[in-house]
Homo-oligomer: A and B are copies of this chain.
Amino acid sequence: MNRQVRKIAELDRTIHEPGRLMLMTLLFAVEGSDFLYLQHETGMNKGTLSSHLSRLESAGYIEVSKTYRGKVPQTLLRLTAAGRKAFEQYRRHLREAL
């Protein structure tokens, strides 16, 4: 197996999936965000967004905190250190592969 191609085979699928790649890209840039902002920026429906966030959380890539903005519930998301590192590595691998 060719070196370049091996990099592709080893890409982190949790991040590679476009839905989550959007989320990681956004969260990497902004350093903290809420559910509605992510929904608006990605164009995903709530169900899909919710399940991608759950997956990122169980991968340890994001931290989810449920709070209130006044009386309205608000879900806050931010990358963990592991998530930041995984995203940087993903980008590095992809760049090397292409």
Chain A contacts to B: CB under 8 angstroms = 1-2, 4-6, 8-9, 11, 13, 16, 18, 21-22, 25-26, 40-43, 91, 94-95, 97-98
Contact = CB atoms under 8 A, between A and B. Distances in A.
Contacts of A11: 18
A51 B2 CA distance: 21
| Closest 3 pairs (CB-CB, A-B) | A8-B22, A5-B22, A2-B41
Interface of A is mostly: helix
Contact of A98 (B1, B13, B25, B41): B25
B9 A22 contact: yes
Contact of A97 (B5, B25, B98): B25
A21 B91 CA distance: 15
Contact of A13 (B18, B22, B94): B18
Given A94-B98, A98-B94, A21 B1 contact: no
